Amino acid sequence: MVKQLVASALLAFITFSSQAATYAVKADDFGRGDITAWENFFRELEPMGVKIYVGVVLEDLRNNPEALNMFNYLKRNPNIRFFYHGHTHDCGVDETGRKFGEFIAPLSEQEALLADGKAWLAEAGETTFIFNAPCGASDKRTAAALENTGYDVWFYPKKDRDDLFTGCKVRYTAKVENPTFTPNFESFGQQFKYIEKKGGEHLLQVHAGAWGGAKLEEFVRIIRSMQHHSASFGWVCEGA
Ligand SMILES: [Zn+2]
């Protein structure tokens, strides 16, 4: 009995310690923001070998020749994948306190947007179709719209409402920007210790197009420190 207990405790320990955390960067709002800030971001990150998911705001990108040029360059980079992040990024909270967005809408409207986004991703060479709603704003119809249009992965901000989606879901709970738009070495360091123990897949959500030099430096400092502590960077939902 004692032997069995020791064996199972050991097994639990091995299982626990082999479940290393995996991290990828989730860079939102490509197509808008300062093109130089984007350029600096990719130039700094490229030699670091981390995996980056780039969220495209489709209407913005289509109307932004500089960003389109950069996109054509980036799509050859094996450490970069694109996901669909809405057409207009029109989202937020209205004066009555109600959330609004492109994906708080009738099913057919959401499906039309998602189908267009998916066709664009396919054209860009993506074979895994990933969605993340602008502002994280979705409603109870979004899961069905994603199912009906054949998305594989949903980057999802909360726990509720996602159980109807049968693809792979990853929540972006590791807050590397705190407050949003500002990378924060100190506050991320506290979470990092906890996440490393817990394991699982984690997305580091950033808004690099809104950063000036000091914010980029802070983010690079975070990634360097993670690499120094042997953090593992990789794609999430592999096999999805
Ligand atoms: Zn966004």
pLDDT digits (tens, 9 = 90+) for 222-238: 999 999 999 999 999 98
Domain presence at residue 240 = no
Domain presence at residue 210 = yes
CA 199 – ligand 1 centroid, Å? 26
CA 134 – ligand 1 centroid, Å? 5
pLDDT digits (tens, 9 = 90+) for 153-202: 999 876 655 567 889 999 887 899 999 999 999 999 999 999 999 999 99
Domain presence at residue 13 = no
pTM to 2 decimal places: 0.90
CA 208 – ligand 1 centroid, Å? 11
CA 85 – ligand 1 centroid, Å? 7
Q: What is the 3-state secondary structure (H, E, C) of the chain?
A: CHHHHHHHHHHHHHHHHHCCEEEEEEEEEECECCHHHHHHHHHHHHHHCCCEEEEECHHHHHCCHHHHHHHHHHCCCCCEEEEECCCCCCCEECCCCCEECCECCCHHHHHHHHHHHHHHHHHCCCCCCEECCHHHCECCCHHHHHHHHCCCEEEECCCCCCCCCCCEEEECCCCCECCCCCECHHHHHHHHHHHHHHCEEEEEEECHHHCCHHHHHHHHHHHHHHHHCCCEECCCCCCC
Domain presence at residue 94 = yes
pLDDT digits (tens, 9 = 90+) for 208-226: 999 988 999 999 999 999 9
Average the pLDDT over 50-55 and give the result.
98
The predicted pLDDT at position 110 comes to 98
The token duo for 17 is 């310690």
What is the rounded distance in angstroms from the CA atom of residue 112 to the CA atom of residue 105? 11
The predicted pLDDT at position 138 comes to 92
Domain presence at residue 85 = yes
Protein residues with C-beta less than 5 angstroms from the ion ligand 1: 28-29, 134
CA 16 – ligand 1 centroid, Å? 34
Domain presence at residue 173 = yes
Q: Specify the number of domains making up the chain.
A: 1
The predicted pLDDT at position 161 comes to 58
The predicted pLDDT at position 13 comes to 43
Domain presence at residue 9 = no
- Strongest mean pLDDT among 15-29, 49-63, 169-183: 49-63
CA 53 – ligand 1 centroid, Å? 13
CA 71 – ligand 1 centroid, Å? 17
pLDDT digits (tens, 9 = 90+) for 96-150: 999 999 999 999 999 999 999 999 999 999 999 999 999 999 998 999 999 999 9
What is the rounded distance in angstroms from the CA atom of residue 13 to the CA atom of residue 198? 12
The predicted pLDDT at position 162 comes to 54
Average the pLDDT over 75-101 and give the result.
95
CA 56 – ligand 1 centroid, Å? 9
Domain that holds residue 206: 21-233
CA 29 – ligand 1 centroid, Å? 5
| CATH number of the domain where residue 120 is located | 3.20.20.370
Domain presence at residue 3 = no
